[in-house]
Structure 1
Amino acid sequence: MSNENMDIEGNTADQIEIIYEDEYIVAINKEAGLLVHRSWLDKGETRFAMQLTRDAVGCHVFPVHRLDKPTSGVLLFAKSSAVARSLTEAFTERKVTKQYLAVVRGFMSEQGTVDYALSFKPDAIADKFANLDKPAQEAVTHWQSLAQIELPFAVSKKHATSRYSLVRLTPETGRKHQLRRHMRHVFHHIVGDTSHGDIRHTRFFRTHYDCTRMLLHAQTLALSHPVTGEPLVLKAGLDNQWMRILEEFSWEDSVEV
């Protein structure tokens, strides 16, 4: 098989990992670097989660929430417009619990909350005609520190060593780039974030650990089934680069994988 048809995890380019499916919904484990759907910002892209999922399940699917392109993890679709409306309302009304894993610079305290309103950040093309006078929107993120490590490398000239934390992030709201912007706001940038992170730590992980992705993963999504009402917990496994970091730092026991 040609390497042109393989992704960074060694899967064929037309594959998608389905983690849950019934007659009403389907959830996938979106890989890092995969767009949810076509975008003016990435005209050169040819693979999209929405189309790959549609082809895998054999019917049209409707997106009900989003994940940034560099973020991996649970991505949920509806199989009908009616179910999509129900799920969209559940997200809007904060009836869905989302939990992410992230590796950030520095030692974070055991737990805490970032309550910091975020202003609208338009994309140059996608939001060309958007209203730029929107007031800052409420944005709340809770964190829990799961593990920490101090490495004998001076990534910053100010410190002889470098510290990192493995954290679980639980957003209450769903603002654009919320987790990435909140971690930057508290000076614990997510490793690998080229837009809101610290390039020195991103380069360090790329050079020393062959980590070419942003270390942010949507691990679980908990909600009531939109039709049956039964509780549903969707969980997405970690990719090879994530597992390599966990093993390198002896963090495997700190998180359920």
Structure 2
Amino acid sequence: MPAEPLHTSGHPRMAILYEDNHLLGIEKPVNVPTQEDASGDPDLLSLLKEDIKERYDKPGNVYLGLVHRLDRPVGGAMIFAKTSKAASRLSEAVRSRKFDKSYMAVVRGIPGKQSGRLTDFLLKDERTNTVRVVPKGTPDSKEAILDYRVLGSSPQDNLSLVQITLLTGRSHQIRVQFSHIGCPLYGDQKYGSAVNKPGEQIALWSLYVGVPHPITKEPVDLISMPPRQYPWNLWEETIYKQTAENCTAGYNGNF
């Protein structure tokens, strides 16, 4: 359904992609933390609770369950639970891999294969909030799996447009795994500082989120298009639209 404006006065514009008594689907703005962090900046979860409280004139605390996250610099589709029952069932959908997420990314260079699966073991350093690929069996490491396909390349810019489907949900997973194969994301200062310049916005976008409705079991499909600005505008908008349509038709991840 078309995005509707969500008014959070004094804060970045957001859009409602889906809403009923159980779920809230929104388009996350870039550079807004998903939840409260050390920066103290306004976070998405708090902003949405404040908005629900105002729109529905709710007294007291508002419940909103966070069931998945996007890194601060990443924008696009996200879904939240408006009841604890919905949160529990969405979390179960995540565990059973019935929670589909598809991303668009612009990466530096051209991956060696047009499509494939990346499987790595990642270890997070909580002190520096960075993640690295480590050998299998490394204590505290977690397996990270994603599927990808290259949708287009711009040789003159040395950039490629990639669709990514996550099979696991590890911290910084997409950014680390693509950096590991020599194709860091455009604008990623943390895992691609050698080829990216300060001030470039990371080109990673949550294109699609699909999940069975926690009550009706009907499919809920959220779609959010990347902004029509560089480097996203190197490719026709029809590529993004067709990819999103394929996701809703059940082709997500079947590369």
TM-score w.r.t. structure 2 length? 0.78
RMSD, matched Cα: 2.1
Matches within 5 A, 1:1-257: 12-13=10-11, 15-40=13-38, 42-43=39-40, 45=41, 47-58=42-53, 59-108=62-111, 109-124=113-128, 134-151=139-156, 162-203=157-198, 212-239=200-227, 242-247=228-233, 249-256=234-241
**1:120, distance to aligned residue in structure 2 (A):** 2.9
For the Cα contact (< 8 Å) 1:16–1:56, is it kept in 2? no
> How many Å separate the matches in 2 of 1:16 and 1:105?
29
Secondary structure of the residue aligned to 1:200 is coil
Q: How many residues align?
A: 217
Query: Which consecutive unaligned segments of at least 5 residues does structure 2 have?
Result: 1-8, 54-61, 130-137, 245-255
Distance in 1, matches of 2:175 and 2:47, equals 26
Q: In proportion to residue count, which structure has more strand?
A: 2
How high is the sequence identity, in percent, across the aligned residues? 27
Cα distance 1:255–1:182, how it changes in 2: closer, same or farther (>3 A)?
same
SS in 2 for 1:138: strand
Tell me the amino acid that sits aligned with residue 173 of structure 2.
Answer: Q
Does the 8 Å contact 1:191/1:202 carry over to 2?
A: no
Distance 1:113 1:38, change over 3 A: same
Gaps of 5+ in 1: 1-10, 126-132, 152-161, 207-211
How far did residue 177 of structure 1 move?
0.6
Q: Decide whether aligned partners of structure 1 residues 180 and 230 sit closer, same or farther in structure 2, where only a CA change above 3 A counts.
A: same
> TM-score, normalised to structure 1's length?
0.77
One-letter identity of the residue aligned with 1:173: T
Gap change, CA 1:15 and 1:250, over 3 Å in 2: closer
AA matched with 1:30: K
Deviation at 1:100, TM superposition (A): 0.3
